Structures are given as C-alpha cells and as structure tokens.
Amino acid sequence: MKTLRISAIQMNSGEDVAANLTRARRALRSAAADGATLAVLPENFARMGKKESDRLAIIEDDGAGPLQDFLAAEAARSDMWIVGGTIPLKSDDPKRPYAAALVYDGSGKRAGRYDKVHLFDARVPESEEAYRESRSTMSGAKPLCIETPWGGLGVAVCYDLRFPELFRQMSSEGMDVLALPAAFTYRTGEAHWEPLLRARAIENLTYVAAAAQTGTHPGGRQTYGHTMLVDPWGAILADAGGRTRVITATIDTQRLKRLRQQFPVLDHRRF
C-alpha cells in the first residue's frame, strides 16, 4: 500500500457513556466515508468523569465488554483500522485498571493492546490543577509497535508524549506511523502540545496522528484539543483547533521511505 488515509477524532466526552459512544460512532463513520484506512479516538473517549476513579464504573475484562464490542463492530462495519483511545481493563488491583489503547483491524479482530506506561502524577505549574493518575490506574510496562498493511504502527497515550525514549524504542521496532490518544490539560497543552508532537515526528521521521479531548468536562477539567496530523518533517497536515471534529489526511508511505533514505538520521544513532 503506497498511500494511507488517517483520521484523528476530537471529542468532548462527558459522563454519559451512551451519548459518548453515539458521538464516537458518528465520527468513526464520517472518517470511513472520507476514505480513512485508520482512525484514532482520543483518550477516555467513552467517559470523562469528575474524578479519575470514575473510570471504575466502566471497567472491563480483557477481551470482553461493551466498549471492546463497540470498537470491534465499528472496525468491521467500516473495514477500517481503529485505535480505540483508552478504556479501563482489569488488573490485579481492583481499584487500578490499566488504561488500555486497543487496536482493531478492518475485520474487527484485535491486533494489539497498549497499556499506558507513564502516568500523570503532577501539579500543573502556576495553577491549582493537580493530578495523581497512579492512584486509579495501573501502569503498563511495554511499548507497542505492530505490523499493518501499510507499515509499522506505534501507539502511545497522552503523558507518554514527554518521554522520547519510548518513541525511540518503537522506532527501533519499525514504527512508520504513531497513534497518540490524549486528553492534555489546557495549560500544558497550550505550552507544549504542538512542539512535543512535532519533535516526536521529526526525531523519529514518522507520521503522527494525535487524537485529543477538547473543552470543559465534568468537574471543571479543561482539555486543550488541537488534534493534529503531523508529517515526518514536522509539518502540520491538519489541526482540529478547539472544536469537536474529525480531521483526515493522506499519508504517502513511499515518500516516508525516500525521506529516510535521503536523510538517514535514524541510521546515525550512536547510543
């Protein structure tokens, strides 16, 4: 496959799971109608509660549950690969599920699972915002890069974006496209979202599809939005701004191959 159509979906998820799934379904079908081969949903697409612990209300067993069924059915219906944002999957600690980003192929079969590795335990500078994600989430331990019909697909989630060594590992495993579901806070997003996305694209010579939450959510949390598609030279192909919408761009995998041959920075690594 020489070209790939990627859609990244921007949502404003709340506490009503059924309403969120209706919006996600509409967005996924819009992406498919626009010719997307791959669509990426944002972090916590099915529910953004008032507290991090609210995700316990929708926790699922690995391999079985309504959210997993939803993703599989939409992928099969549209013959489109889907990176399913994140959903909470059970761990050994009943109060701390994994934040799992699940990948489904066009037949509806699960092709990969990535558990968010880096958890957001931080106070946002010069604000009253503070987060302790590790209290309600179990950390994953492994990167994910899987083979697809168009090349290697790497998956990471939100706060992972700040840790370049994770993306170097995926690059070493053959990453051509990075899918990044996220729910960046407004303040950190305003300062760092775009430069971090462009940096990860440039330093790994990879396309990036970053799907974000936007707007105000239950409890007053504000997310930055600006879902983006970025090319391996750091150019922004599409930016969703602050609105809920679907953005789509065509990716030329042959151009990616030529770029890596002409500018072989990945072959020049010393460490």
Active site residues: 43, 116, 158
Which residues are CB-contacts of 111 (< 8 A; sequence separation ≥ 6)?
81, 103, 104, 105, 146, 148
How many Cα atoms sit within 13 Å of 171 on the Cβ side?
Answer: 20
Which residues are CB-contacts of 108 (< 8 A; sequence separation ≥ 6)?
72, 73, 75, 76, 77
Q: What does the chain come to in residues?
A: 271
238 phi and psi, to 5 degrees?
Answer: -160, 145
Chain Cα centroid distance, residue 269: 27
32 burial class (0-12, 13-18, 19+ CB within 10 angstroms)?
buried
Residue 251: both structure tokens together: 């990716």
Q: How far apart are CA 216 and CA 27, in angstroms?
A: 19
